[in-house]
Amino acid sequence: MTGQGTIPTAVEAIKRGASDFIPKPFDKDVLLKKLEAIKTRAYLENRVTNLRELVSDKYGFENIISSSQAMMDVFEVASAAVSSDAPALIVGETGTGKELIAKAIHVKSKRGNEPFIGVNCEAIPKELLESELFGYKKGSFTGALKDHEGLFMAADIRNDFSRRDR
């Protein structure tokens, strides 16, 4: 809150970590609403941090139960994938824990705070797989009533979320 309500002052305050900028004279109701918004944001940020810790604890490699040497080898390779930016392809029979391994890699990686997009490719009809993975433009085929970004774009942390509804 300041009596020096200039744009450069506001910009500098925000750069230094201010949550908002209120010039004097101020409206009490506006101030209370802004304080409530700051309080709500702090609560939600704390809640997200707690939920991320819970997910990380639940999906770590240490929670996948196995004693076979084959799975120990899988855990070793999967642990190496955690520090890589390269895509990982996980294959195996139904019920072998592919999605658990994928989630463990994801939550332990630097992308662990981003969405996990699990895809059972076998459940997608062969004719639709490419469109589901890579997306499509409106009108590109019968039934394409709007643009669809595809699962690879949905999972891309560099994806510009402002493009989502185009």
> Rounded to the nearest 5°, which phi and psi values hold at 158?
-90, 0
Burial classification of residue 105, based on how many CB atoms lie within 10 Å of its CB (0-12 exposed, 13-18 middle, 19 or more buried): buried
The model's pTM is 0.57
What single-letter DSSP state applies at residue 166? Answer: -
Report the percent of the chain where pLDDT is more than 70: 91
pLDDT of residue 163: 45
Has residue 58 got a pLDDT over 80? no
